[in-house]
């Protein structure tokens, strides 16, 4: 019987400091065993449990894209025991990984559709994965127009600056970056993500809206999308709940009759509206 609780080993290849407050780092991990690399087939939106041996494990969405199969990337905000321990690790150190876990974004349903990706703060990691997947030469023509709205409190808190710069030069996507307040040298939007969405969102026709960010951002973005005419089936959220086992056993992430870890973390608004109480924004 395969044991879903036992992690495989990965080696830290690089650590990238993402934000000016030094709280978020992206860990670039390489597979120690070729067998594990082959087995780890994932789609954007899925997550994994990352272990620091001696400290424990915590779930993170893959920030990397499966189109680059040699590495996994996880962006980690230092906030608890495991994340704090991760931040102290350096190149060459070994961590454990269990996964891929969860459903991920429905890539087949996205084909031939316009996509509006809306992210806030730290929740942007799986949307970065999705964007880089779509922009890959072999995938780009399968999807139609791509619009990205990504906000942070300050310019220095935006993640993936190299990616953002590269995306900004491309003509096959509309990139809207926003910060909460005016800042020196800032050329993007100023305002909260829901307001920017209202101003720049494309037509809901033939379009999926994919939202991932802090709960308060998702809560206020939902009515905007509904006003704009998006159907509940075409609005997708990636939910956050405290998770542990990642395979729908330990009960922690239960919301209504679903488990965020194994039924989600990606749910359509139409699914969420049918669930009981706690799943409602």
- Residues of this chain that interact with another protein (CB under 8 A) are 1-7, 9, 51, 53-58, 79-80, 83, 92-94, 96, 214-215, 240-242, 244-245, 247-252, 254, 256-257, 262, 276-278
Q: How far is the CB of 276 from another protein (least distance, A)?
A: 5
Q: How far is the CB of 24 from another protein (least distance, A)?
A: 13
Q: How far is the CB of 229 from another protein (least distance, A)?
A: 28
Q: Is the bond leading into 62 cis (omega within 30 degrees of zero)?
A: no
Q: How far is the CB of 278 from another protein (least distance, A)?
A: 6
Give the chain's largest Cα–Cα span: 58
- Please say whether the beta carbons of 239 and 263 come within 8 A: no
In the bound state with another protein, the residue whose beta carbon lies nearer, of 3 and 138, is: 3
In the bound state with another protein, the residue whose beta carbon lies nearer, of 18 and 240, is: 240
Q: How far is the CB of 172 from another protein (least distance, A)?
A: 34
In the bound state with another protein, the residue whose beta carbon lies nearer, of 82 and 201, is: 82
User: Interhelix angle for 125-135 vs 161-169, to 10°?
Assistant: 40
Separation CA 76–CA 66 (nearest Å): 19
Task: Take residue 276 and report the two structure tokens written for it.
Answer: 């009981």
Q: How far is the CB of 65 from another protein (least distance, A)?
A: 25
In the bound state with another protein, the residue whose beta carbon lies nearer, of 77 and 147, is: 77
Residues 6+ apart with CB under 8 A from 188: 155, 176, 177, 178, 179
Triad 126, 118, 100: Cα angle to 5°: 15
| Other CB atoms within 10 A of residue 134 CB | 23
Task: Take residue 37 and report the two structure tokens written for it.
Answer: 């690399």
In the bound state with another protein, the residue whose beta carbon lies nearer, of 92 and 185, is: 92
In the bound state with another protein, the residue whose beta carbon lies nearer, of 94 and 107, is: 94
Separation CA 90–CA 74 (nearest Å): 14
């Amino acid at each position: 019987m395969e044991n879903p609780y036992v992690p495989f080993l990965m080696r830290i290849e690089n650590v990238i400091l993402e934000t000016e407050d030094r709280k978020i780092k992206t860990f670039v991990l390489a597979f120690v065993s070729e067998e594990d690399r082959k087995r780890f087939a994932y789609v954007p939106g899925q997550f994994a449990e990352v272990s620091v041996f001696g400290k424990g494990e915590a779930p993170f969405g893959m920030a990397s894209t499966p189109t680059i199969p040699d590495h996994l990337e996880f962006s980690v905000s230092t906030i608890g025991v495991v994340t704090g321990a991760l931040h102290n690790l350096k190149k060459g150190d070994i961590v454990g990984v269990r996964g891929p876990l969860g459903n991920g974004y429905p890539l087949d349903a996205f084909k031939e559709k316009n996509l509006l990706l809306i992210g806030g703060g730290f929740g942007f990691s799986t949307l970065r994965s999705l964007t880089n997947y779509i922009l890959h030469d072999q995938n780009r023509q399968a999807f139609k127009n791509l619009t990205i709205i990504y906000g942070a409190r300050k310019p220095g808190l935006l993640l993936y600056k190299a990616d953002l710069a590269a995306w900004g030069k491309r003509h096959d996507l509309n990139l809207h970056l926003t910060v909460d307040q005016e800042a020196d040298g800032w050329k993007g939007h100023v305002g909260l993500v829901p307001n920017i969405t209202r101003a720049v969102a494309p037509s809901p026709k033939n379009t999926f809206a994919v939202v991932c960010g802090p709960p308060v951002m998702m809560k206020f973005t939902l009515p905007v999308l509904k006003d704009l005419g998006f159907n509940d089936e075409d609005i997708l959220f990636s939910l956050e709940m405290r998770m542990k086992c990642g395979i729908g056993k330990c009960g922690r992430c239960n919301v209504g009759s679903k488990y965020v870890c194994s039924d989600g973390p990606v749910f359509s608004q139409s699914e969420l509206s049918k669930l009981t109480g706690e799943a409602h924004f």
